[in-house]
């Protein structure tokens, strides 16, 4: 029963993640991506603040200000670029690109974590990057500019994962999330001033939902991982592709093209192979 509950929480995180992408894309028709990102951080902080206050002064205590500053910079860059990419690309493309994060983690791990990479993992990485090329479709007539934003964002999310793994895994999760989001909000406020347009009441409601959703994704993931291991839940990650396809079709009349299918057919097996070998190596150690 614990495993089924973990699956439930994990799938909820995927649904909220796709919903956030859909809201970002919809708001992108009338609001600039900088402003959407600013409100995402702002309402994320405002919804966290009452919880932090309820837990008392200890919830705000930390000695790792430099690390939070660095993490906030990565969050600012990653979410800002992701918002730009989602605005310009189909939601399904964004979901497929999110699957490349483990590939970038694998590439960066030897540099920052001094991990040894075996030849099957390098082969999986090569397959993943060929899949990325299919999605980008880099010719003059149909180059996907939005996908380029998504790829850079995925690489930044991978750096964030490595940073979490190496430095801040022992920090309270609420404290880590709160301070990093505050830093990101302050950074994105600067470009937001230049493109500011006062949101309508309806847009503001969607922006509040976006901020709350950002926190809910993490909450649902933590609930899932408290009941089952990340590796046992990893295969369900790819349900997000079908959820995003339905959301893209229902709300934006989007259908994946042949390059999306080819890219996904290479990226998904590559990330599954990476997950398999990393889990096996972890069990042996």
Instruction: In whole angstroms, give the CA distance from residue 55 to residue 19.
Output: 29
What does the DSSP 8-state code read for residue 254? -
Tell me the mean pLDDT in the region 180-202.
93
Tokens of 31: 């609001």
pLDDT tens by residue, 33-45: 999 999 999 999 9
At residue 66, the pLDDT reads: 83
- Using only C-alpha atoms, the chain has a radius of gyration, in whole angstroms, of 19
| Structure confidence at residue 119 (pLDDT) | 75
Choice between 59 and 194, residue whose per-residue pLDDT is larger: 194
* DSSP letter (8 states) at residue 113: T
What pLDDT, on a 0 to 100 scale, did the predictor assign at position 31? Answer: 93
pTM above 0.95, yes or no: no
Is 238:71 a contact under the CB 8 Å cutoff? no
Q: Using 50, 70 and 90 to split pLDDT, how confident is the model at 171?
A: low
Find all residues with CB under 8 Å of 146, minimum gap 6, and list them. Answer: 84, 85, 86, 87, 88, 89, 93
| Residue 169 pLDDT exceeds 60 | no
> Which comes out higher in pLDDT, residue 280 or 70?
70
CA distance 85 to 145: 8
CA distance 4 to 2: 5
Residue with tokens 């309508």: 200
Model confidence over 232-258: pLDDT tens digits? 677 778 888 888 888 888 888 888 878
End-to-end CA distance of the chain: 29
CB 247 within 8 A of CB 116: no
Per cent of the chain over pLDDT 70 is 87
* Band of residue 283 on the pLDDT scale cut at 50, 70, 90: low
Read off the pLDDT of residues 69-85 as tens digits, 9 standing for 90 and up. 888 899 999 999 999 99
- DSSP reduced 3-state for 98: helix
Range with top average pLDDT, 115-119, 139-143, 215-219: 215-219
**What average pLDDT does the structure give for the chain?**
83
Evaluate whether 212 touches 47 at the Cβ level (below 8 Å): yes
Give the pLDDT score at 212. Answer: 92
């Amino acid at each position: 029963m614990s495993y089924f509950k973990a699956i439930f929480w994990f799938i909820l995180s995927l649904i909220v993640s796709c919903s956030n992408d859909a809201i970002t894309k919809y708001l992108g028709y009338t609001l600039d991506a900088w402003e959407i990102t600013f409100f995402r951080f702002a309402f994320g902080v405002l919804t966290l603040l009452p919880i932090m206050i309820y837990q008392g002064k200890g919830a705000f205590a930390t000695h790792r200000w430099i690390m939070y500053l660095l993490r906030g910079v990565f969050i600012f860059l990653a979410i800002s670029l992701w918002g730009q990419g989602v605005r310009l690309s189909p939601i399904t493309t964004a979901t497929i690109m999110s699957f490349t994060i483990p590939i970038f983690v694998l590439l960066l791990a030897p540099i920052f974590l001094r991990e040894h990479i075996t030849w099957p993992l390098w082969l999986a990485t090569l397959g993943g990057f060929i899949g990325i090329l299919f999605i980008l479709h880099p010719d003059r007539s149909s180059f996907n500019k939005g996908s380029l934003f998504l790829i850079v964002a995925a690489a930044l999310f991978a750096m964030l994962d490595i940073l979490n793994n190496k430095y801040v895994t022992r920090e309270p999760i609420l404290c880590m999330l709160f301070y990093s989001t505050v830093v990101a909000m302050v950074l994105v406020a600067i470009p937001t001033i230049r493109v500011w347009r006062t949101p309508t009441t309806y847009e503001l409601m969607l922006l509040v939902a976006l901020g709350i959703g950002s926190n809910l994704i993490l909450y649902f993931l933590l609930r899932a991982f408290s009941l089952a291991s990340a590796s046992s839940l990893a295969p369900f990650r790819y349900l997000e592709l079908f959820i995003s396809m339905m959301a893209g079709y229902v709300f934006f009349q989007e259908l994946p093209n042949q390059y999306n299918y080819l890219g996904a057919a290479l990226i998904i097996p590559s990330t599954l192979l990476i997950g398999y070998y990393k889990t096996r190596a972890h069990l042996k150690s």
